[in-house]
Amino acid sequence: MVSRACSSTQSCVSIPRVRRTTTGTAASCSTSCAASSDQRRTAGLVVFGLTPSVITVLAVTVLVGAAVQGLVGLGLGLVAAPVTTLLAPQVMPELLLWLAAVMPLVTLVREHDSIDWRGLAWSVPARIPGTAVGVAFVAWFSERELGVAVGLMVVVAVVLTVRTVRFPINRGTLMVAGFVSGVTGTATSIGGPPLALLYQHRAARQIRCTLAVYFVVGASLSLAGLGVAGSLEARELRLALVLIPFLVGGFAVSAALRSRVDPGHIRYGVLTVCGLSALLLLVKSLTG
């Protein structure tokens, strides 16, 4: 296009209209808009800063952990916690607490007729003061000191149990297990082994459903405490909702495998999970 420029002393002269700036601006805008659109499309594939690949790994981890817990009564935290801490530390520990509260409910839908209510009547109340002591320990001792102490304690308990030392289930041992579980669960996120070691000689069905009730209460107490402290956010709950189908899938896998697993092997499975959790905690504490 051509514009006409005239003055009082000069005749009109044809001046070409410069379009490079407009074209360049349009091109720049086009590039910027395309990039913005790509970012929006990418953001749609990300859940609270987690890429699809990370979410996929977490989903597989939850599925495997749920299968282990469905077989032996605990294990979701052991399998999922290290991976989640490594890949998505920003959602810890709230994400696993939500999952830890849901997994036992799935277990109880299938198995709820062998719950040791008498044992829970002593172990659950003992967890409350144990939780308070755990909070105090967090303030008094470093995470490394707590991790080493608890890890060594669980390893010793597993070794003693493997060497046929059998802990009786009575009022005193139940209260001690509940209290210690409250301390360790609050201070180090490992609260299952004390009660699991106590129940290892019971029927596999009773181990699973009794621990399920205990874990529901424990996770609920932890979530309530975080809520009072104002530490709960919606993102972890939403991510947990995304992962729950994989949790249910893992439980379904465990149900399919249960008929093929010798009940006598469940005890060794419990001991293995407890021992691995202790070793994991020791390694994390000594190298962290």
pLDDT in tens, 255-276: 898 888 876 787 788 778 778 8
**Do both 29 and 67 map to the same domain?**
no
Cα–Cα nearest to 138, from 247, 18, 222: 222
**Do both 103 and 201 map to the same domain?**
yes
**Count of residues for the chain?**
288
Specify the pLDDT at position 115: 95
**Do both 40 and 148 map to the same domain?**
no
Specify the pLDDT at position 172: 96
- Output the CA torsion sign for 195, 197, 200, 201: negative
Provide, rounded to the nearest whole percent, the portion of the chain with pLDDT above 90: 33
**Do both 166 and 238 map to the same domain?**
yes
Specify the pLDDT at position 261: 81
**Do both 86 and 155 map to the same domain?**
yes
What average pLDDT does the chain have?
79
pLDDT exceeds cutoff 60 at 44: no
Q: Which domain holds residue 62?
A: 52-287
pLDDT, tens only, 73-114 = 888 887 888 788 778 878 888 898 899 999 999 999 988 989
Greater confidence, 106 or 3? 106
**Do both 34 and 166 map to the same domain?**
no
Distance CA(154)–CA(52), nearest Å, equals: 36
**Do both 242 and 189 map to the same domain?**
yes
41 pLDDT band, cuts 50/70/90, is very low
**Do both 37 and 91 map to the same domain?**
no
pLDDT exceeds cutoff 70 at 176: yes
193 C-beta neighbours (distance < 10 Å), count: 29
Distance CA(200)–CA(254), nearest Å, equals: 18
**Do both 77 and 219 map to the same domain?**
yes
pLDDT exceeds cutoff 90 at 144: no
- Greatest mean pLDDT among 34-43, 59-68, 87-96, 252-261 lies in 59-68
Provide, rounded to the nearest whole percent, the portion of the chain with pLDDT above 70: 80
164 pLDDT band, cuts 50/70/90, is low
The lowest-confidence range among 8-22, 51-65, 67-81, 124-138 is 8-22
**Do both 70 and 19 map to the same domain?**
no
Distance CA(68)–CA(253), nearest Å, equals: 9
Cα–Cα nearest to 179, from 126, 234, 228, 249: 126
Q: Count how many domains the chain has.
A: 2
Greater confidence, 27 or 169? 169
**Do both 143 and 37 map to the same domain?**
no
**Do both 121 and 24 map to the same domain?**
no
Specify the pLDDT at position 162: 74
31 pLDDT band, cuts 50/70/90, is very low
